């Protein structure tokens, strides 16, 4: 690398010397150091801002609700709604992982993990088809509430993680 910089510097000096031999003002050429700095700046990774893409998608998924959609935790409309929410949350987690930004989004990754656990527990407890009430005192009601609330929390945490 050092030889490369020395070569660039020598070529730049030669070019500057040759161009000023005609009596014209010498052209200002960037130094090797400036060229190396510019290359380093252009190769620096861009800061990841996943909230710009995913907050609107979470808002859209959350906006598909209707009053009492999950009054019964296993009703078809409720199952469809929480399935769509869960899919978007999983996609956010995948986007964070693909960006290699798990350490930049700790709160968001915790929300993704919370949804993954609640989703698995909802399935394991066979909540689909259950007529239990969401506000009831049942295991399925707790899982359903988690699956409905955590995506809204994730919206906030995406932005919070980026500001931290």
**Would you list the domain boundaries of the chain?**
2-43, 51-163
**pLDDT of the residue at 150:** 97
**pLDDT of the residue at 26:** 47
Indicate the angle between helix axes 139-163 and 51-62, nearest 10 degrees: 150
Residue written as token pair 């919206």: 155
Given a cut of 90, is residue 80 above it in pLDDT?
Answer: yes
Given a cut of 50, is residue 87 above it in pLDDT?
Answer: yes
**pLDDT of the residue at 52:** 96
> Cα–Cα distances in Å, from 23 out to 14, 15, 17, 28?
15, 14, 11, 15
**pLDDT of the residue at 121:** 95
Sign of the torsion angle spanned by Cα atoms 137, 141, 142, 145 = negative
Using CA atoms, how far apart are residues 130 and 69, in angstroms rounded to an integer?
A: 14
Given a cut of 90, is residue 115 above it in pLDDT?
Answer: yes
- Which pLDDT tens digit goes with each residue over 117-158? 999 999 999 999 888 776 667 888 899 999 999 999 999 999
Q: CB–CB of 61/84 below 8 Å?
A: yes
Cβ neighbours of 151 (radius 10 Å): 24
- Which pLDDT tens digit goes with each residue over 41-70? 443 344 779 999 999 999 999 998 888 888
Given a cut of 80, is residue 8 above it in pLDDT?
Answer: no
pTM of the model as a whole: 0.69
**pLDDT of the residue at 19:** 45
Using CA atoms, how far apart are residues 31 and 139, in angstroms rounded to an integer?
A: 68
């Amino acid at each position: 690398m050092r030889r490369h910089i020395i070569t660039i510097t020598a070529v730049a000096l030669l070019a500057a010397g040759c161009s000023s031999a005609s009596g014209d003002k010498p052209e200002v050429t960037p130094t090797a150091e400036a060229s190396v700095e510019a290359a380093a700046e252009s190769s620096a990774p861009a800061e990841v801002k996943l909230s710009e893409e995913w907050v609107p998608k979470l808002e859209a998924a959350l906006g598909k609700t209707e009053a009492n959609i999950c009054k019964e935790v296993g009703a078809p409309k409720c199952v469809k709604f929480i399935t769509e929410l869960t899919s978007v949350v999983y996609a956010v987690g995948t986007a964070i992982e693909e960006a290699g930004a798990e350490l930049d989004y700790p709160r968001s990754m915790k929300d993704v993990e919370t949804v993954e656990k609640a989703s698995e527990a909802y399935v394991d407890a066979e909540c689909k088809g259950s007529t239990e009430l969401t506000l009831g005192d049942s295991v399925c009601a707790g899982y359903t509430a988690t699956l409905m609330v955590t995506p809204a929390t994730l919206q906030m945490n995406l932005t919070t993680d980026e500001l931290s």
